[in-house]
Amino acid sequence: MTNQYYEFFCPVKVIAGKAALEHIPYELTGLAAKRPMIVTDKGVRAAGLLDPVVAACEESGLEIISIYDDVPPDSSTDVVRDIAGIYRSEKCDSIIAVGGGSAIDTAKAVNILVSEGGDDIAAYSGAGVIKHPLKPFLVVPTTAGTGSEVTSVAVITDTTKSVKLPFTSSFLLPNAAVIDPRMTLTLPPHITAATAMDAMTHATEAFTCMAKNPLSDAYATAAVKKISTSLLQVMDNPKDSDGRLELAQASTMAGIAFSNSMVGLVHALGHATGAICHLPHGLCMSLYLPYVLEYNLESIRAPLGELLLYLEGPDVYSATPASRRAEASISALRKMRDELHKRCKLPRTLKETGSVEEHQLDTIADMAMDDGAMMFNPKEVSLDDARAVLKRAWA
Amino acid sequence: MLAKRIQPMVFQARRLYVELMFQVMGRALQAVSEIDSAVQKEARALPDGFLFEMMVMPDGSRLIVEHTGNGRFHYHGDSAPRPVDLSIQFKHIAHAFLVLSFQEKTSVAFANDRMLVDGDISYAIRMTRVLNRLETFILPKLVAKRAVKEYPSNLHLPEKLLSAARIYLKVATHFVETVRA
């Protein structure tokens, strides 16, 4: 009998495609919510992305009671407490997060406070602390990469203790994720590239790491195929709304995949690099992906070889001998990074970022060793191994 | 019919096995922290007085060790002097048995959602490395390979045998001292 066992969970309703935003009033009404609050950031508002959301609601007679548009890139416990205060004073009854990872994580944390009570979000930190369903919550992602709209995790910085607080509960998942191509149409090229490579890394690690399972595999491979097909098309034609929708859907699918199968060394190194050198997460993912796949190669040869079909299509897959497919998958990813570098100078090495010093590599390796993602990497990683991968990624 | 009669005995044996393994592991953790510099280095990153628990949900067998400082662990048995800082919890005794009988690697058990971590995940990763190190010392290579993600290529037989002998001696001594007390 096989020892295989897995769990898969994603109760988020996905509302995707043309005029998806116009479904928000109906969805909120179905959840008995009448007084929504929008949580977003200044960048989203400045880009005019809030206008279609507000218009879609007002046209249906649903008034947005409050808009908080000052979520910082690295959200904190103070911000969460302030937003919860506004939510209560305005007597809101639901939350719509519009933005990227930070706005979504902040809204998740606000939802904990306004549902469970209190002002100290730190009291709810950890896994499984929340035991009840929270207030109605919708997410409208404005980047195509993080997958936060389908993950049950939020990370908020505790400013007084200078630590990052993780919150994990299936109750953090939104009732619905609204994916509308209008929301990513104006993403600048370098953010489009970095966030798409973030999604590509989610899917690739989900498909090659230890907790992979048949259901997450299906989402991961579909996401890889969509990104491989659409990313360069969108880079060449940013107004391609079909391509934008493909990338946004791929991001959500990759999010579903990795939240059910976890990620590995790319994320461990990326989290540490982000914390130490303040590089954007998506960029770190793009940067480390091929080097980590090379490190893991002998442990993931079969699944990585299989990914070639989704990266390069059936012709290349069938023309490549089975024994060379894993290497060909890595080459395909390198080729994609080269194309992105040509189009928007997305760095391919740590040196190219201009934000990392070589002497920081050991500190990055040290921090990465204690990252939770290390547990799910298919190959054991020693400190020397992590340093060696970083050296290869340096230049 | 026979299977139904035997089942309670099988469950009882499984429970006793898990309890015994926790007792051995707790004492072995204390022992390995007294003799192995790599374990001491890992443990030094934990705060002094840090309490680590491994248990079976909801209220089954458990082992509790404390980092007393300078990389040393102290085994507290199954009761903690104060609330623990980190708890690794098996969802069911059947899952604990799979891991402790080396049918499922610790990392695979994590990947399979057999266990929950309550506490700082980075400390959990560190403690897992300590447990892996311990298992590579005290288990025969063939069994250790089933317990850890990757058997270390730089652990040679003389070092393994010597370390295992010292750990088992300390574990046995601790058992005797416990019985006497």
The residues spanned by each domain of chain A are 13-182, 188-394
CATH architecture of A13-182: 3-Layer(aba) Sandwich (3.40)
Nearest Cα to Cα of residue A245 among A11, A12, A13, A19:
A19
Q: Are the beta carbons of B122 and A127 separated by less than 8 Å?
A: no
Contact with chain B for residue A265, Cβ under 8 A: no
Q: Are the C-beta atoms of B31 and B167 separated by less than 8 Å?
A: yes
* Interface contact A380-B149, CB threshold 8 A: yes
Q: Cβ of A383 under 8 Å from any chain B Cβ?
A: no
User: What are A41-55's pLDDT values in tens digits?
Assistant: 999 999 999 999 999
Mean pLDDT for chain A overall: 95
Cis preceding-peptide flag for B58 (omega within 30 of 0):
yes
Question: In the structure, what pLDDT confidence band is assigned to residue B1 with cuts at 50, 70 and 90?
Answer: low
Residues of chain B contacting residue A5, judged by C-beta atoms under 8 Å apart: 112-114
- For A153, the 3-state DSSP assignment is strand
A262/B122 Cβ within 8 A: no
The tens digit of pLDDT for each residue in A57-109 reads 999 999 999 999 999 988 899 999 999 999 999 999 999 999 999 999 999 99
Of chain B, the end-to-end C-alpha distance in Å amounts to 44
Q: Smallest Cα–Cα separation from A170: which of A219, A128, A111, A114? A: A128
- Distance, CA of A391 to CA of A377 (rounded, Å): 19
Whether A7 has its CB under 8 Å from any CB of chain B: the answer is yes
**Contact check, Cβ <8 Å, B108/A375:** no
pLDDT in tens, A2-21: 668 999 999 999 999 999 99
Comparing A4 with A316, which gets the higher pLDDT? Answer: A316
Q: Which CATH class is domain A188-394?
A: mainly alpha
B100, two tokens: 């402790």
C-beta atoms of A369 and B118 within 8 A? no
Helix (H, G, I), strand (E, B) or coil at B54: strand
Domain ranges of chain B: 44-180
A and B: number of Cβ contacts within 8 A: 51
Strands A126-127, A163-168: pairing kind: parallel
CA distance B111 to chain A (A): 5
Enter the CATH code of domain B44-180. Answer: 3.30.1050
Q: How crowded is residue B174: how many other Cβ atoms within 10 Å of its Cβ?
A: 18
ipTM given for this complex: 0.88
